[in-house]
Amino acid sequence: MTLPAFFCTSPGSNGQGTAEDEHPTSAWLNVYDTSARYVGMDVCRGCHPGVYETFMQTGMGQSFGLATREKSAADFAPAHAIVYDTALDYYYKPYWRGDTFYIMEYRLQGRDTVHKLVQRVDHVVGSGQHTNSHIFDVNGYLYQAPITFYTQKHKWDMAPGFEKGASSRFRRMIQLECMTCHNALPGFVAGSENKYTQVMHGIDCERCHGPGSLHVAARQSSPPVDTSKTPDHTIVNPRRLSTELQNNVCQRCHLQGIAVLNDGKTFFDFRPGMRLSEVMNVFMPEYEGAQDKMIMASHVERMKKSDCYVSSGKMSCITCHKPHVSVKFTPRTQYLAACQGCHTGSGKAECKETMQARMAKKDDCVTCHMPRNGSIDIPHVAVTDHYIRSRPVPAEEAKKITAFLGMKCYNNDKPDAITVARGYMEFYERYAPSRGLLDSALKYLGMQPTEEAGKKQNRDLIRAYYLLEDHAKVTGYAAAMQPAAIADAWTAYRIGESYFQVGAADKALPWYKRATEIWPHALDFNNKYGTCLLALNRLQEAQQVFGFVLKEAPGHVSANTNMGYIYMQQGNGTMAYEYLMRANANDPDHEQNLLNLAVWHYTNNQYDKARTRVEHLLQKHPGNERARAMLLDLSNM
């Protein structure tokens, strides 16, 4: 196989690797000073009320809020508010009961409702300019609801990524990468994937200016700095940063792609004034052709393709945008003036269209050179394409895809081979489960330039072979490793799962346990640890683990299923049925739970109900051989 190319960004962008980079410094005091703390937007408001008021009307200021009638832009009229998931056969109805927002999931069989699940909505994500999506809270664990309101089309539909049979219904976790681009800095519970102590209402001032405590302390003890004459170095002013560092502030959230964190870094670690590559490297798939393929929040990636960006060396997001003012209230003339500043005057490239053609478009540069385009990740929306081109691209050329070229990093010229490999694996897991991506990852993992890089290799080889379902290979790497020496929860989990898949539950157990020690609030890791205990017939210990999961998330389907099974083994049919029905209420198609319910009915001489469960199971999971055998047995009775 030919190794897909690795692409670097254009010359002039900041890379890594010099001695200077090892100890970065900044003239802005709040960038690297670890004593600098975030003070919150209300503190900023005290001295900057005018800026606060206009900023709160922007998409950033409106990016996250409580689920109130005022926050929601959705239409709840019956003609608009029913969504049907054709792949999984569920209907969804959003509605208000008083001032509380709910989404009801239900299934019909003829005119009968055979399943109904009602979920309260706690938060609305999105300003309403493009969408409103919906989040609910279970004991601090945040999940996304399966339907979204698309404001441009004025319609409800399945949420992005939930279409075409991919719906996870009410189980999609809201993890830090997502939350930190729609929120200020939330209170996150370490050792979890999606548990929070608090969430803020929208992006705030310090996401672009950095932590404000040094600035507040300085202003309380000394007169304000006259910033028309000299910078106030206690807090970052993005307009005074270099062009590349300006763009790094914006591309933390507006370069949406495959974000690969550097070792030891989290999504909290980036501060304005840093290079984004100090914390993460962001990759995008590149195709030959396919010029219309854009991700909704990939504005920086599209801009960096543009001749305006490549040639000028000074183009940043704030060349055209005023971050404190909503695009809804920004006059069109501001954007046109930015174009004319570079394209009008002696020796500058000017528009080649006739004046008649220009006047037909109201002499609006953006209309022709930055047309609105659909995105490949969010349906029913059209956004301004920031790939500025001198001529419109013919539709047939724009849509043509001839080959996948590789992964391109847009914020670092020289990521190491391991980072590139991780980009390929992340793309495989999230978007495109193609074997070729893992082959590329393995080739990059074989390009280790230093001994230190080689030490990190096992973790990534384990991930690659785990994704390839080569569990024997994973356990081979793990044979010389000890669980206590592993600090990465996912590595411990993957080793445990591989041992479990090859039938070595006894060897899997300490690895599952290690994963839960590192991330004690990762509920799915806990559930697999309990499942392994169950396989080893350690019922009492398993029961304790499932009890913890259900205390944290009472609707956890698999934990309820497993708890029901334990009670069946203990001969407590009443409790067994209670837990199995809790699981069924949250997922009526869960394969193992349907089988357990069929067995429960069978052992209680309820043969017709057992047959109904088995027939339903085989309708949804036709390959289940145990169900087929049970159905045959029931048919012979």
Query: Per-residue confidence at 347, pLDDT binned at 50, 70, 90?
Result: low
Distance CA(212)–CA(34), nearest Å, equals: 12
- What pLDDT does 384 receive? 84
Q: Which residue has the higher pLDDT, 11 or 605?
A: 605
Burial class for 255, CB neighbours closer than 10 Å (0-12, 13-18, 19+):
buried
Q: Work out the percent of the chain whose per-residue pLDDT is above 90.
A: 71
Name the average pLDDT for the chain: 90
- What pLDDT does 535 receive? 97
- What pLDDT does 587 receive? 98
Residues β-bridged to residue 147: 158
For the cut 90, the answer to whether the pLDDT of residue 471 exceeds it is yes
For the cut 70, the answer to whether the pLDDT of residue 549 exceeds it is yes
- 238, 249 Cβ separation under 8 angstroms: yes
- 286, 310 Cβ separation under 8 angstroms: no
- What pLDDT does 527 receive? 98
Strands (DSSP E) found in 50-188: 64-66, 83-85, 90-97, 100-109, 112-121, 123-125, 131-138, 141-144, 147-150, 155-158, 172-173, 187-188
For the cut 60, the answer to whether the pLDDT of residue 6 exceeds it is no
User: Phi/psi at 143 (nearest 5 deg)?
Assistant: -135, 155
Distance CA(497)–CA(476), nearest Å, equals: 13
Query: Per-residue confidence at 12, pLDDT binned at 50, 70, 90?
Result: very low
Query: Per-residue confidence at 18, pLDDT binned at 50, 70, 90?
Result: very low
Treating both helix axes as pointing N-terminal to C-terminal, what angle do 523-535 and 557-569 enclose, rounded to 10 degrees? 20
Distance CA(300)–CA(386), nearest Å, equals: 8
- Summarised one tens digit per residue, pLDDT across range 49-98 is 999 999 999 999 999 999 999 999 999 998 788 999 999 999 999 999 99
CA distances from 182 to 127, 131, 176, 264, 294 (A): 10, 13, 10, 23, 20
- Summarised one tens digit per residue, pLDDT across range 314-328 is 899 999 999 999 988
Show contacts of 468-473: CB within 8 Å, 24+ apart. Answer: 468/435, 468/438, 469/501, 471/497, 471/498, 471/499, 471/501, 471/502, 472/498, 472/502
Q: What is the pTM of this model?
A: 0.91
Over residues 229-245, mean pLDDT: 95
Query: Per-residue confidence at 293, pLDDT binned at 50, 70, 90?
Result: low
- Summarised one tens digit per residue, pLDDT across range 516-541 is 999 999 999 999 999 999 999 999 99
CA distances from 452 to 24, 51, 249 (A): 21, 48, 30
CA distances from 477 to 137, 201, 282, 435, 528 (A): 39, 45, 29, 21, 21
Both structure tokens of 259: 């974000």
Over residues 274-285, mean pLDDT: 95
For the cut 70, the answer to whether the pLDDT of residue 11 exceeds it is no
Both structure tokens of 621: 């999971």
